[in-house]
């Protein structure tokens, strides 16, 4: 009798003991065997349940299983958080109408609970957070009968942002490439169609075609450069003498500066600084920032470059007394193709990619870049590069 009481109390380790013979003995043996089987089956189910729960918790999406009426059968912690359910109550057994506090998610699920097919919904939940909600019906064995739903909620904010950026970039690139191509086609057409064009006009058209072709080349070079920097493949790491790199750049820059009668002054606190970098990055950074200073400064202007060491970092400041940048544009000038004045940038041979490339490169070297500027007064770009022992070890 005690054994049957134990079994009713879920104590499956209880056994019928004692020496019994005949039918009673056979019954006791079978009874004990039955207890063992039940015990084993329960342990197996408990293990599987624990496994299932662990899997549910380790999934990086919110997962929710409900029956056709909306009763929650299973839910992982992430889903509880995403649907803004009360974390102190047991969700299993509750109806989603009571548990899901996020109206948009609840509405999406309720709206699609009658469907026999999978549904995917993308929702802007709040503060630009985007969730992808996938609702899959669960069928009873091989029949058409739906017995519940599995709801999979994924935070795709980052992915959506990248996708938008990619689309925007492709649209921008197409637009930027189209403008010079249209212009080249137009002038070639005119040259072909017009007889007796005087030599001067012909030469003027050819110069425009040449300039547009140069612009296309520059644009393609910059796009390729940007894509190389973004490429995660290993790049050559090397140690360079900062002042030597600067002198090289200075030579190139001086040539352009002279054409506008701009004085380029420099003052290096320490000329013996070696830096670890990805091959060519520091040269490109200096070239972009200093050539911008010249591009956006009027004739007879001044550009000064200062180098100093502070808190174990090398600072390079490039200051000009040029056109300056309006306050509302300062935040955006490092974006791809962002230009304060498109026509002006174009007329000085800009592609709108220089600062985006520069920022990427500075970041890749664990550095920082910022700008201080006043409209009509001038701009100061401040580049900060650490002595990158750590970077060198990581990158090599």
Q: Read off the tokens for 312.
A: 């174990």
Which listed residue (108, 284, 307, 379) binds ligand ADP by CB under 6 A?
Answer: 379
Give yes or no for residue 352 binding ligand ADP (CB under 6 A).
Answer: yes
Which listed residue (354, 365, 388, 391) binds ligand ADP by CB under 6 A?
Answer: 354
Q: How far is the CB of 291 from ligand ADP (least distance, A)?
A: 8
Q: Which residue's CB is nearer to ligand ADP, number 72 or number 362?
A: 362
Q: How far is the CB of 169 from ligand ADP (least distance, A)?
A: 14
Give yes or no for residue 320 binding ligand ADP (CB under 6 A).
Answer: yes
Q: How far is the CB of 226 from ligand ADP (least distance, A)?
A: 11
Judge contact between 134 and 152, C-beta under 8 A. yes
Applying CB under 6 A, what is the total number of residues that bind ligand ADP?
22
Residue 284 CA to residue 279 CA, distance in Å, equals 10
Which listed residue (322, 361, 367, 391) binds ligand ADP by CB under 6 A?
Answer: 322
Give yes or no for residue 62 binding ligand ADP (CB under 6 A).
Answer: no
**Which range touches ligand ADP (CB under 6 A), out of 78-86, 208-216, 273-281, 320-328?**
320-328
Q: Which residue's CB is nearer to ligand ADP, number 353 or number 362?
A: 353
Q: How far is the CB of 157 from ligand ADP (least distance, A)?
A: 27
Give yes or no for residue 355 binding ligand ADP (CB under 6 A).
Answer: yes
Q: How far is the CB of 110 from ligand ADP (least distance, A)?
A: 49
Q: Which residue's CB is nearer to ligand ADP, number 212 or number 320?
A: 320
Give yes or no for residue 339 binding ligand ADP (CB under 6 A).
Answer: yes
Q: Which residue's CB is nearer to ligand ADP, number 281 or number 391?
A: 281
Q: Which residue's CB is nearer to ligand ADP, number 244 or number 341?
A: 341
Q: How far is the CB of 174 from ligand ADP (least distance, A)?
A: 18
| SS (HEC) of the chain | CHHHHHHHCCCCCCCCCCCCCHHHHHHHHHHHHHHHHHHHHHHHHHHHHHHHHHHHHHCCCEEEEEECCCEEEEECHHHHHHCCCCCCCCCCCCEHHHHCCCHHHHHHHHHCCCCCCCEEEEEEEECCEEEEEEEEEEECCCCCCEEEEEEEEEECHHHHHHHHHHHHHHHHHHHHHHHHHHHHHHHHHHHHHCCCCCHHHHHHHHHHHHHHHHHHHHHHHHHHHHHHHHCCCCCCEEEEEHHHHHHHHHHHHHHHHHHCCCEEEEEECCCCCEEEEECCHHHHHHHHHHHHHHHCCCCCCEEEEEEEEECCEEEEEEEECCCCCCHHHHCCCCCCCCCCCHHHHHHCCCCCCHHHHHHHHHHHCCCEEEEEEECCCEEEEEEEEECCHHHHHHHC
Q: Which residue's CB is nearer to ligand ADP, number 236 or number 344?
A: 344
Give yes or no for residue 290 binding ligand ADP (CB under 6 A).
Answer: no
Q: How far is the CB of 361 from ligand ADP (least distance, A)?
A: 12
Q: How far is the CB of 339 from ligand ADP (least distance, A)?
A: 3
Interface residues toward ligand ADP, by CB under 6 A: 292-293, 296, 320, 322-325, 333, 338-341, 345, 350-356, 379
């Amino acid at each position: 009798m005690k054994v049957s009481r134990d079994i009713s109390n879920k104590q499956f380790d209880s056994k019928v003991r004692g020496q019994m013979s005949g039918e009673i003995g056979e019954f006791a043996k079978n009874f004990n065997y039955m207890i063992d089987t039940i015990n084993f089956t329960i342990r197996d189910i408990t293990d599987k349940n624990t496994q299932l729960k662990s899997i549910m918790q380790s999934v990086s999406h919110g997962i929710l299983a409900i029956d056709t009426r909306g009763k929650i059968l299973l839910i992982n912690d992430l889903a509880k958080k995403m649907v803004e359910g009360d974390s102190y109550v047991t969700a299993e057994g509750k109806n989603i109408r009571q548990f899901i506090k996020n109206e948009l998610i609840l509405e999406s699920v309720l709206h699609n609970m009658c469907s026999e097919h999978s549904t995917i919904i993308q929702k802007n939940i709040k503060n630009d957070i985007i969730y992808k909600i996938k609702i899959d019906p669960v069928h009873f064995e091989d029949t058409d009968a739906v017995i519940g739903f599995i709801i999979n909620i994924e935070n795709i904010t980052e992915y959506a942002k990248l996708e938008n950026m990619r689309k925007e970039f492709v649209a921008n690139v197409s637009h930027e490439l189209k403008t010079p191509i249209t212009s080249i086609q137009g002038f070639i057409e005119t040259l072909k169609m017009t007889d007796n064009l005087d030599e001067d006009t012909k030469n003027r058209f050819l110069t425009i075609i040449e300039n547009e072709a140069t612009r296309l080349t520059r644009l393609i070079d910059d796009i390729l450069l940007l894509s190389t920097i973004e490429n995660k493949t290993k790049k050559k790491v090397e140690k360079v003498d900062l002042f030597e790199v600067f002198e090289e750049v200075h030579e190139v820059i001086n040539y352009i500066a002279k054409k506008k009668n701009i004085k380029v002054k420099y003052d290096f606190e320490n000329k013996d600084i070696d830096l670890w970098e990805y091959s060519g990055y520091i040269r490109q950074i200096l070239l972009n920032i200093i050539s911008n200073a010249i591009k956006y400064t009027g004739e007879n202007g001044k550009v000064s470059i200062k180098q100093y060491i502070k808190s174990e970092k090398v600072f390079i400041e490039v200051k000009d007394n040029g056109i300056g940048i309006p306050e509302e544009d300062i935040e955006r000038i490092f974006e791809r193709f962002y230009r304060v004045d498109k026509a002006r940038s174009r007329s000085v041979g800009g592609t709108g990619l220089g600062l985006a490339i520069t920022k990427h490169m500075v970041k890749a070297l664990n550095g920082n870049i910022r700008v201080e500027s006043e409209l009509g007064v001038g701009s100061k770009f401040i580049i900060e590069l650490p002595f990158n022992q750590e970077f060198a070890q990581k990158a090599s």
